[in-house]
Amino acid sequence: MEENRVILDAARFKLTIDRLCYQLIETFDELKDTCLIGIQPRGVFLSDVLKDRLTEILGTPSFDYGKLDITFYRDDYRTRLKPLEASKTTIDFLVDNKNVVLVDDVLYTGRTVQAAMTALNDFGRPSRVELLTLVDRRFNRHLPIQADFIGLRVDSLDEAYVKVAWDAEGTDNKILIFPDKNSILEA
């Protein structure tokens, strides 16, 4: 059995966050007409880190920031054996005519992003929606969805499980790959 392994350590993780922030600034200038929206629950960890780092780089928070719960928009909501717990949506602005950057930690099948785009319709009609993901699992897509901003591409087997491990202090964030979903429980 293959071992669990770190595929992005804390030092490279920090560099990846910086690269993603500078790509956002290059694309959207000072993010004036742009909003960052983290997809609950795991995309919010990443979007919080990005928001803090972007505020640091730009000097002030010059962009709208929100957190989007997609629980009731998921296509598997009614078919799950164990019901999902809903998170809180915190978006106190309309997305009309804004550039929206949806943020999630891992892009796998594309179903989470599809649900997020559907939920986003409740907040207006953006001029553009782009996706930022820390990990893109390229060969496992079920839907024709792709990320615009990518921290790391991972080519792995369907059984493999990629996890972003968030450290409370932010000093030991890393990305791990497990041979299968069961081995994450053993770690």
Task: Name the nearest CA neighbour of 136 among 149, 120, 117, 122.
Answer: 149
CA dist 85 and 59 (Å) reads 36
> What domain count does the chain have?
1
- Tell me, what's the pLDDT at 1? 41
Distances in Å between the alpha carbon of 117 and those of 53, 62, 126?
Answer: 25, 23, 10
Q: State the pairing for strand pair 149-154/128-137.
A: parallel
Dig out the tokens for 25 from the structure: 């600034």
pTM of the model: 0.90
Q: Is the link from the previous residue into 41 a cis peptide, with omega within 30 of 0? A: yes
Question: In this structure, are residues 34 and 28 in contact, taking their beta carbons and an 8 Å threshold?
Answer: yes
Q: Name residues of the chain where pLDDT drops below 50.
A: 1
Domain CATH number, residue 46: 3.40.50.2020
Give the DSSP H or E segment for 178: strand 174-178
Q: CA 115, CA 108: separation in Å to the nearest integer?
A: 13
pLDDT at residue 89, rounded to an integer: 92
| Confidence (pLDDT) at 72 | 85
Q: Which two tokens stand for residue 132?
A: 């930022």
Residue ranges making up the domain that contains 88: 5-186
Q: What is the pLDDT of residue 80?
A: 55
DSSP 33-93: TEEEEEETTHHHHHHHHHHHHHHHHHSS--SEEEEE--GGG-TTTTT-SSPPPP---B--S
Give the Cα separation of 42 and 149 in Å (integer): 17
Return the pLDDT at 105. 96
